Structure 1
């Protein structure tokens, strides 16, 4: 068994979201992304499908030209190669579930865009 908490030991970054891998196994990679209000991840995509869940807070989530306001408990799944972005409307915690072929390094690279 592997245990992790999306709400324990949360650290907010001063200038950009904080990305923390919580679980990695042969099936998935579970990542916590912590945003302060106003922080964002610019438009990006991955070759693999992803699932994004709002654990806490409120996120303006863009998919192509569409905008969605996601709140705690909301979850979205995207196929690979779908351009999306995230903007924190309040302090927020996001769960990102990656395909086993995807990498945490790629997610960290999005902050450099």
Structure 2
């Protein structure tokens, strides 16, 4: 059994979003993304399906020329290779679930 706490020890980075691998299982990687208000993760895509959940705050999630506002508790899934972006509307904490085969470094490079 493994445990992690997404809302403990949150550290904001003034320069860019803060990305931390919190939990790795046999099938997934659970990543915390911490945004200061107005920080952006520019257009990018994942090689495998992903799940994004807002744990605290709110973000604009851009996909397919559409912007969806996601608030605390909201969750969205995307198929592989779908271009998307994220913009924090306020200080926010986001959970990203990646395939075990995906790379945390890929996310850090966005």
**Which residue matches 1:26?**
26
**Which residue matches 2:77?**
77
**Which residue matches 2:54?**
54
CA-based RMSD: 0.6
Name the SS of the counterpart of 1:67 in structure 2: strand
Q: Unpaired runs of 5+ in structure 1?
A: none
**Where do 1:1-113 residues align within 5 Å?**
1-110=1-110
Work out the CA distance in 1 between the residues paired with 2:55 and 2:25: 21
The TM-score, its normalising length taken from structure 2, stands at: 0.98
In the TM superposition, residue 104 of structure 1 has moved relative to its aligned partner by 0.2
Runs of 4+ aligned structure 1 residues displaced above 4 Å come to: none
In the TM superposition, residue 26 of structure 1 has moved relative to its aligned partner by 1.4
Q: Unpaired runs of 5+ in structure 2?
A: none
